[in-house]
Amino acid sequence: MKNKELKEIINKSLGKLDESYIVSPKHFDQPTETLSKATHESHFALYKNYVDSLNLISATLTSDVISNNSNSSAFRSLKVDETFNMNATYLHELYFANSFDPHSEILMESLAYIKISQSFGTFDDWQKSFISCAMSSRQGWVLTAYSLFLKKYYNFFIDSHVNNVPVGVYPVIVVDLNEHSYFKDLLNDKISYLYSQMKELRWSVIEERFEKAEEIAKIIR
């Protein structure tokens, strides 16, 4: 079957093949005692590049790219790049939003503290697990998330935006471990950077994510 014929069949079943969307970069106010303004500016610039790349992919997917003889390979390449840039954009937004609070504080009566303690045994055990996952990552991310499968919160790492990504999780805590996050200030001192980020987690934002995660948990139980 020719590609044109295949496209016609799909169009009859699903309507016009249109995967268009536009992602707008978000602004984050980032006071911090651990990283320089230069690091923040370069990090935001990188994030905006991911957003621009994602929008370019969206525009390309709406073109007639799948109607020629090379459509299978071209379409695959676009979808691979789409996932990479989408994950990079979303992870950066989650990280920026839950980070850089010099007055960071978590209350023992907060939902986040209670749920972390329930899932990991103690809050300290969560910290130890989080650090272990972070130090195991090879240029990527460390996350705490609610697992729809496990029905609990757990820690994991993602490498290079797209490797080791579990299915069915809702992220509540995200820390960027890529060297661009800290190299200008700390060179390759990853552990010092990690400790500084854990001290500056923005628990007000994280608390809202735990509230949403618990609403999700109620739906799937």
DSSP string covering 69-127, please? TTHHHHHHHHHHHHHHHHHHHHHHHHHHHT---TT----TTSHHHHHHHHHHSSHHHHH
> pLDDT grade, residue 116 (50/70/90)?
very high
pLDDT per residue over 194-204, tens digit each? 999 999 999 99
Query: Distance (Å, rounded) from C-alpha 155 to C-alpha 169?
Result: 11
> pLDDT grade, residue 6 (50/70/90)?
very low
pLDDT per residue over 97-109, tens digit each? 999 999 999 999 9
Q: What is the pLDDT of residue 13?
A: 44
> pLDDT grade, residue 8 (50/70/90)?
low
- Show the CA angle centred on residue 196, arms to residues 193 and 201, nearest 5°: 125
Instruction: Name the DSSP class of 195.
Output: H
Which residues lie across from 162 on neighbouring strands?
A: none
For residue 186 the two structure tokens come to: 């700390």
Mean pLDDT, residues 184-196: 95
What is the chain's mean pLDDT, rounded?
Answer: 89
The yes-or-no verdict on residue 80 having pLDDT over 90 is yes
Mean pLDDT, residues 76-101: 96
The yes-or-no verdict on residue 4 having pLDDT over 80 is no
Mean pLDDT, residues 126-133: 98
User: Which one is predicted more confidently, 87 or 29?
Assistant: 87
User: Which one is predicted more confidently, 117 or 77?
Assistant: 117
- Distances from the Cα of 49 to the Cα of 30, 86, 88, 122, 146, angstroms: 19, 11, 10, 39, 29
Q: What is the pLDDT of residue 31?
A: 79
Mean pLDDT, residues 155-182: 97
Mean pLDDT, residues 191-195: 97
